[in-house]
């Protein structure tokens, strides 16, 4: 087993070295990766790039970092100093200060600077670089913080899809229709208790779940996890009853469970669900929240990943090192997630790249319609929507529209680059 693992690891390292080399040859994909890194930097450091508070300042012989302090205050682990509570930092007489390049937050109105044109005499240092909207809010600040929202939606949604898709795809591809065997009594009791568990865990608590969804995302997650705990607890009953009953020869005989057929049909059902319609339904019963959008996109964006992983696992499960692991008596889950899955993830990255682009586009579409996100949150789609109120304010359409176009394009270029770089011929 050790020699097989070392040989497989060497082949894997060689393969990934070829992937990097092949990807670097695609200049468009490489340039797209650099753009994504640049946009990621903007998303991570948005508060340092656009803020109405100094990054660092000296006031009354004391040093402060209001931007960093704001993080601790928002997390509830810190408090503002008495002399800085409700302070307008722009009028505060400081001994020294380092400001953000853009000295505004996207939600700060300035009614004296309504529809300021970009690059005009009012757009200099400390002014409005990319103009303002109908409330005098800075467009550049909205673009910077909108980058964080767009990337957050893409990364979080595809993170959820990644874990669901990899898990279900692995189960379907590794076990197939004949690899997982369970006793007749275990299968029978679980089938009987499954609807009961779902009824008491979710249907009985549907009012509680619905009310929690309207309160906040975290309240809903807590109640959902509580229901999930009830669901698992109820399913423990049939599995405990199985222990004495499986001693009966007929009931204890093992049969194959067709997991591949079951999960494949389930994937087809999920694919048939229109995500946008589902988001609209959730928005109708819950408060507008960007987290709701992330979760729904993530919960229904995994079928493509599951299909990729399933196809890879169906090939990998017949390789020598998997057979050796089975012969040594390793558990199925150890063999799957330690040896099989790491060698099956290469095509998943392609699906993730395209999925991030799709998630960003869905969020921008919803924001443009003015649904799905809180009214006080500025996104690229919402900025684009503001241009409808004044056709002469071209900057409200050009800058966010260009940002959406570029971001979606570069992720698609990365996906195409990965498609070429992860060609199965490189494995040879």
At 42-52, the pLDDT tens digits run 998 988 999 88
% of the chain residues with pLDDT over 90: 10
For position 38, what pLDDT does the model report? 94
For position 218, what pLDDT does the model report? 65
- SS3 of 99-111: CCCECCCCCCCCC
**All domains of the chain in start order, with CATH:** 52-99 (no CATH), 143-180+257-427 (1.10.3720.10)
Which tokens sit at 52?
Answer: 């109405």
Q: What is the mean pLDDT of residues 278-296?
A: 76
> Taking 70 as the threshold, does the pLDDT of residue 216 lie above it?
no
For position 326, what pLDDT does the model report? 72
Which tokens sit at 333?
Answer: 């889950």
Q: What is the mean pLDDT of residues 354-381?
A: 84
- Judged by average pLDDT, the poorest of 224-228, 261-265, 368-372, 410-414 is 368-372
Distance CA 43, CA 33 (A): 15
> Taking 70 as the threshold, does the pLDDT of residue 3 lie above it?
no
For position 123, what pLDDT does the model report? 45
C-alpha torsion 332→335→338→341, nearest 10: -90
Banded pLDDT at 210 (limits 50, 70, 90): low
For position 13, what pLDDT does the model report? 63
Q: Which residue has the higher pLDDT, 380 or 2?
A: 380
Maximum average pLDDT range among 65-79, 96-110, 204-218: 96-110
H-helix or E-strand containing 214? helix 206-215
For position 124, what pLDDT does the model report? 46
- SS3 of 130-191: CCECCCCCEHHHHHHHHHHHHHHHHHHHHHHHHHHHHHHHHHHHHHCCCCCEEEHHHHHHHH
Q: What is the mean pLDDT of residues 371-399?
A: 84
Backbone angles phi, psi at 138, to 5 degrees: -70, 125
Query: Please, what sign has the CA dihedral across residues 299, 305, 306, 307?
Result: positive
Mean of per-residue pLDDT scores for the chain:
82
Banded pLDDT at 236 (limits 50, 70, 90): very high
Residues near 128 by Cβ (< 8 Å), separated by ≥ 6? 104, 113, 116, 118, 122, 138, 139, 140
> Taking 90 as the threshold, does the pLDDT of residue 405 lie above it?
yes
Question: With b meaning 16 or more CB within 10 Å and e meaning fewer, what string describes 332-366?
Answer: eeebbeebbbebbbbbbbbbbbbbbbbbbbbbbbb
Q: Which residue has the higher pLDDT, 421 or 167?
A: 167
Backbone angles phi, psi at 288, to 5 degrees: -60, 130
At 248-268, the pLDDT tens digits run 888 888 888 888 888 888 888
C-alpha torsion 298→304→307→312, nearest 10: -100
């Amino acid at each position: 087993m050790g020699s097989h693992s070392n040989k497989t690891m060497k082949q894997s390292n060689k393969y990934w070295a070829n992937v990097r080399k092949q990807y670097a040859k695609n200049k468009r994909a490489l340039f797209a990766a650099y753009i994504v890194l640049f946009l990621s930097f903007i998303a991570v450091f948005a508060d340092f790039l656009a803020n109405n508070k100094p990054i660092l300042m000296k006031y009354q012989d004391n040093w402060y970092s209001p931007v960093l302090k704001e993080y601790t205050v928002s997390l509830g682990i810190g408090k503002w100093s008495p002399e800085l509570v409700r302070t307008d930092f722009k009028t505060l007489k400081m001994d020294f200060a380092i400001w953000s390049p853009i000295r505004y937050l996207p939600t700060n109105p300035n009614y004296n600077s309504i529809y300021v044109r970009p690059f005009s005499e009012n757009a200099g240092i400390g002014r409005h670089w990319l103009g303002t909207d109908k409330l005098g809010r800075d467009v550049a600040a909205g673009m910077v913080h909108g980058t964080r929202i767009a990337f957050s939606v893409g990364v979080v949604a595809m993170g959820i899809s990644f874990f669901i898709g990899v898990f279900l795809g692995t189960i379907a591809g590794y076990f197939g229709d004949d690899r997982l065997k369970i006793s007749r009594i275990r299968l029978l009791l679980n089938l009987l208790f499954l609807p009961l568990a779902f009824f008491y865990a979710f249907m009985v608590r549907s009012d509680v779940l619905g009310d929690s969804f309207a309160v906040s995302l975290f309240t809903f997650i807590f109640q959902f996890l509580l229901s999930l705990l009830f669901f698992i607890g109820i399913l423990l009953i049939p599995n405990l009853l199985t222990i004495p009953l499986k001693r009966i020869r007929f009931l204890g005989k093992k049969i194959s469970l067709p997991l591949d057929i079951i999960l494949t049909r389930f994937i087809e059902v999920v694919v048939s669900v229109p995500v946008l319609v589902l988001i609209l339904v959730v928005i109708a019963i819950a408060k507008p929240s960007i987290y709701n959008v992330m979760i729904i996109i993530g919960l229904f964006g995994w079928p493509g990943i599951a299909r990729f992983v399933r196809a890879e696992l169906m090939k990998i499960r017949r390789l020598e090192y998997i057979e050796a692991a089975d012969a040594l008596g390793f558990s199925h889950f150890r063999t799957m997630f330690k040896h099989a899955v790491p060698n099956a993830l290469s095509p998943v990255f392609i699906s993730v790249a395209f999925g991030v682009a799709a998630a960003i586009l869905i969020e921008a579409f919803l924001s443009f319609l003015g649904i799905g996100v809180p009214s006080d949150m500025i996104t690229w789609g919402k900025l684009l929507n503001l241009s409808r109120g004044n056709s002469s304010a071209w900057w409200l359409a050009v800058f966010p529209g260009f940002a959406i176009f570029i971001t979606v394009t570069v992720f698609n270029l990365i996906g195409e680059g990965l498609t070429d770089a992860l060609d199965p011929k490189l494995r040879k």
